[in-house]
Amino acid sequence: MKFGINFPYLLTYFLLSSNALTEAVKILALFPFPGPSQYILVQPYLKMLASRGYEVTSVNAFPQKQKVENFRDITVMEVHDNYADVISGAQVERNKWGEMTFLSEFFMNITETVLKNPKVQNLLKNEHFDLVIMETLHTDAWYSLGRHFGAPMIGISSFGTDPIIDELMGNMSPFSYTPLVTIGYTEHMSYTERLWNTIYQLMELLHVRWVTIPLQRQLMAKYMPHIQEDVWELRTNFSLMLLNQHFSLSYPRPYVPSMVEVGGFQLHYKPNPLPQDIQEFLNSSQEDVIYFSMGSNVKSKDFPPERLQMINDIFRKLPYKILWKFENTHLPGKPANVFIKPWFPQPDVLAHARVKLFISHGGLLSTSESVYHGKPMLGLPVFYDQTMNINKAKRAGFALSVDFYTLPKEEFENTILEMMRNAKYFKKAKEISRIYHDQPVKPLDLAVFWTEYVLRHRGAPHLQSPAQKMNFFKKHSIDTVGVLIAAVVLSGISVVFIILSVFRFVFSKKTEKQ
């Protein structure tokens, strides 16, 4: 079923407490990333807070085109510099430690770019905020802002949780069925996969200690020297973590109370009419429609000419219409059944009844939108969590995948035809969509409720797990289990020693008698 009517207590809370709670409350939001995905995710949430009377100041790289009441942009456009090189670099094959270092250095540069921005410096020197909301992506020096303003912090994770997010919140995720998001495994791992997953998760924890934290500690000393606490202490001060995840998109897993799943909270619930040019293209025939988009980071216009020609050749033969997010106005050799546009209102396109397949890179936003609208996916994962997202969708039965880097022509064409002709993928997508929609509270309302809960309870310290302040050995009871194991080993050694001593004594007596 669709999202139900909100619980009466939640509705009553929204109606009665809004004016008292929002009066003069100032919120600082930090989402200054050069890729638009993170900001697309949180904009509805931030605008909802503004519509409820909070004064929202958003540090970002994608300012509003139209003025929004109670909403102020602080733009940090410098983060776009050399971003194309970063995306190209992310596609270079590295070992796992090299991948972690590449991401850590990228986010260190973003962290410093924001902290040294004159407009951000002005905020730090001259303004006060009652709540700080930010994406938690290896930007630990920003976590000093909560202490600077004396305000609680709410984190948002655009991909769910991982070992680092777990550490921030004192959560524990068993390595046996919670794979690292960057290695492509699902929760169903073989013994070998579980072994490698354990190795990679421990590597992640070591890397953050040996590489990420030292870099972030230097930035904090440079730009926030008045903060006395170490960055390691500050990173455990989050009151709440909102996770862009839902068990229908991933799998059931444990969370502490301060971690809340709000997967898909960027989606609006009534699709808007499609732009006229798109609608006219769809109305020109009754053929089923395929939507093709590689997201906001990987651009189709940058594909090699031979790949573009190959895709054109395949699309030309298909008895379907294709909507292709192509970032140039001209595509050489474009077939008549293909409509290109630099940007599509993706949720509205996926909501259209005649769209029967989504060819996608498999980013979590795209995956959640596909699930929301019940559309099967053909995945072409490129990097980060995309392989894992597509593999989960494949296991759930509503997706197939083709290797993006080789993209074999025959396999690509046959996979498209298989998914368009075999109704099982569409039926499974609808089934998963029904599971996702069967929630008592809309994810956006849930996010707002817990945000105001943190404000109402002055940071809600009662939500925070004691494990947030524990080190790795104490949190996982390695110190106590280690003592018990040592005791057993020592007891075993003592027993063996005693037995050997008895035998030696007995044999020595026999020898004396002889």
Sign of CA dihedral 465, 469, 473, 478: negative
382 pLDDT band, cuts 50/70/90, is confident
Paired residues of 153 in beta bridges = 132, 238
* 135, pLDDT greater than 80: yes
> d(Cα 78, Cα 84) in Å, to the nearest integer?
13
Kind and range of the H or E run holding 420: helix 409-421
Close Cβ partners of 407 (under 8 Å, ≥ 6 residues apart): 307, 310, 380
Domain 276-437: give its CATH architecture: 3-Layer(aba) Sandwich (3.40)
Task: Give the distance, in angstroms, between the CA of residue 224 and the centroid of all CA atoms in the same chain.
Answer: 28
Please tell me the predicted confidence (pLDDT) of residue 462.
Answer: 92
* 396, pLDDT greater than 60: yes
pLDDT digits (tens, 9 = 90+) for 497-509: 888 888 877 777 6
Please tell me the predicted confidence (pLDDT) of residue 1.
Answer: 43
251 pLDDT band, cuts 50/70/90, is confident
Summary mean pLDDT of the chain: 88
Please tell me the predicted confidence (pLDDT) of residue 250.
Answer: 81
22 pLDDT band, cuts 50/70/90, is low
Residue ranges in 224-321 assigned as alpha helix (H):
231-234, 276-283, 305-317
391 close to 184: Cβ distance less than 8 angstroms = yes
Most confident of 243-247, 391-395, 452-456: 452-456
The residue whose two tokens read 């790949």 is 307
Q: Domain ranges for the chain, please list them.
A: 26-267+442-469, 276-437, 472-501
Neighbours of 56 (CB within 10 A): 26
Q: Which has the higher per-residue pLDDT, 11 or 142?
A: 142
Please tell me the predicted confidence (pLDDT) of residue 19.
Answer: 54
Q: Which has the higher per-residue pLDDT, 486 or 5?
A: 486
Q: What global pTM score does this model have?
A: 0.86
Establish whether domains 26-267+442-469 and 276-437 are of one fold: yes
* 386, pLDDT greater than 90: no
CATH class of the 26-267+442-469 domain in this structure: alpha beta
DSSP 23: T
Instruction: Give whole-number Cα distances, 151 to 26, 87, 141, 321, 460, in Å.
Output: 10, 34, 15, 52, 12
441 close to 7: Cβ distance less than 8 angstroms = yes
Average pLDDT over residues 260-289: 86
Average pLDDT over residues 387-394: 88
Please tell me the predicted confidence (pLDDT) of residue 5.
Answer: 46
The residue whose two tokens read 């280690």 is 482
Residue % of the chain over a pLDDT of 90: 51
Single-letter amino acid code for the residue at 498: I
